[in-house]
Structure 1
Amino acid sequence: MPPAQQLPPNVHVSKHPCLLAKLSQLRSKEPSARDVKLLIHEISLIVGCEALAQAITAVPGPAGETPLGFQYETTTVVPETISLVPILRSGLGMIDAITTLLPVPVPVHHLGLFREPTTLQPVEYYNNLPNHAAAAPDSTASSLAIILDPVIATGGTCAAAIQTLREWGTQRIIVLAVIGAAEGVTRAAQEWPEGVEIWLAGVDAELTDRGMLKPGLGDVGDRLFLTIGK
């Protein structure tokens, strides 16, 4: 992993020992699709805990009552409008972990992006953001959008998702990933430095000529959905 000082200041790489051990297990070719799904979930929980501890704030809520009839001051969080934006397909594997962490249900808006094989540039094929046209007069953009994408490779897909959400009108973006290439993470972080924070479990220094991380995790979508060799 490259030294932290070589990454932009809005990139946060976890040092949690359990997380690092689980990432090592996920790198292996041995885990079954069921185990890959579980490891993605567990890693997302830890990364999500670290990110949300910095991104949201606990504030007093209305009075509540315990089962024994005692009054207490409830706690809620701000910002009030949060949405999850998984990048299809592999981002689907992170949804359950983050919805488990959040104290209330939040919308899930899917983005479909793929890398064109020759140029490795992102192509959008699906967008489920409500009123997602830029500067829509009736925009319902969330204050905080959380991008879920296990792997940041060249950074093109992540940067495109950030730009789409910025045009939608969101005020802040958190990117949660399992792993990224130093070059790609830097590219994504620089897309909107003042509005984006990237949190991930690990960073690899190299990309192959096919835009895959080295040593990486392989194709997480294929590993999750048993489509290896498609």
Structure 2
Amino acid sequence: MHIHNLSQQNSVLNTFISEIRNVSIQRDRMRFRRNIERIGEILGYEMSKILNYKTVSIETPLGNSSINIIENDIVLCSILRAGVPLHNGLLNYFDAAENAFVSAYRHHTHNPESFEIIVEYLACPNLEGKTLILADPMLATGQSMVSTFEALKPYGAPKSIHLISIIGAQEGVTYLENHFSASTHLWIASIDKTLNDKGYIIPGLGDAGDLSFGEKLQH
């Protein structure tokens, strides 16, 4: 798997990452969502550099201009609910993309420190021969990404796969490397060292879904 860790180079991305991690700033939900969206835009821009392009002629008021534009047939898939702001950021740049949405969550059984990923809702177009962008802001264990991709397989085989996350743990990155093909690309803003005993990223930032939309009731 090709891993593109954007934190290895300094850029304005550092500012947005610092703000979504900051316990004082992240209390502003609108600002938190907007920062997630802006990070999605940066990740999408970096990813766009390796897509396929074709040359087209554009008619301007004063003549014609040749320019290279993306020719990939893109499907953007996000994992609800935390993935919504990230999805919006990517969609700002790939506005012609088709869209897919998956509801996946951690289901704890008897042991609160163990869980399985449950996929309950899925809306997806045909994926055959297309460029799949699978987006989830937090890459903890990696199980959500893998379970989501397994759920998408009946919709066709993508020509290429790009995984996009904002903050991940090294364990999750390794898990993806073991479950996706070598040609898959992972675009990520920062990789943290470890997970705690409940499978949350340390230092991470907390629960991205709760910070975006408010705390959820536990059943």
Spell out, residue by residue over 1:143-199, the C-alpha distance to the aligned partner (whole angstroms, 9 max, x if none): 111011100111100111233344531121111110101001210232122342111
What's the counterpart of residue 91 of structure 1? Answer: 83
Specify which of 142, 158, 162 is matched with residue 170 of structure 1: 158
Q: Does residue 203 of structure 2 align to residue 215 of structure 1?
A: yes
Any conservation in 2 of the 1:113–1:157 contact (CA below 8 Å)?
yes
Spell out, residue by residue over 1:93-124, the C-alpha distance to the aligned partner (whole angstroms, 9 max, x if none): 1122212222x511111011111124322111
What's the counterpart of residue 50 of structure 1? Answer: 46
Change (3 A) 1:190 1:16: farther
Q: Does residue 134 of structure 2 align to residue 147 of structure 1?
A: yes
What's the counterpart of residue 109 of structure 1? Answer: 100
Q: Aligned letter for 2:131?
A: L
Q: Aligned letter for 1:216?
A: G
The CA distance in 2 between the partners of 1:52 and 1:196, in whole Å, is 15
- Secondary structure at 1:83 match in 2: strand
How many positions carry a matched residue from both structures?
A: 209
Higher share in strand: 2
- Secondary structure at 1:75 match in 2: strand
Any conservation in 2 of the 1:114–1:123 contact (CA below 8 Å)?
yes
The CA distance in 1 between the partners of 2:132 and 2:10, in whole Å, is 24
Any conservation in 2 of the 1:162–1:173 contact (CA below 8 Å)?
no
TM-score normalized with structure 2 length: 0.87
Any conservation in 2 of the 1:59–1:78 contact (CA below 8 Å)?
yes
Q: Bigger CA drift: 203-212 or 190-199? A: 190-199
The CA distance in 1 between the partners of 2:10 and 2:107, in whole Å, is 35
The CA distance in 1 between the partners of 2:203 and 2:127, in whole Å, is 40
The CA distance in 2 between the partners of 1:41 and 1:16, in whole Å, is 19
What's the counterpart of residue 134 of structure 1? Answer: none
Q: Does residue 60 of structure 2 align to residue 66 of structure 1?
A: yes
Shift of 1:209: 1.4
Any conservation in 2 of the 1:82–1:142 contact (CA below 8 Å)?
no
Q: CA RMSD in A?
A: 1.9
Shift of 1:228: 5.9
TM-score normalized with structure 1 length: 0.83
- Percent sequence identity is 25
- Secondary structure at 1:190 match in 2: helix
- Secondary structure at 1:39 match in 2: helix
What's the counterpart of residue 122 of structure 1? Answer: 117
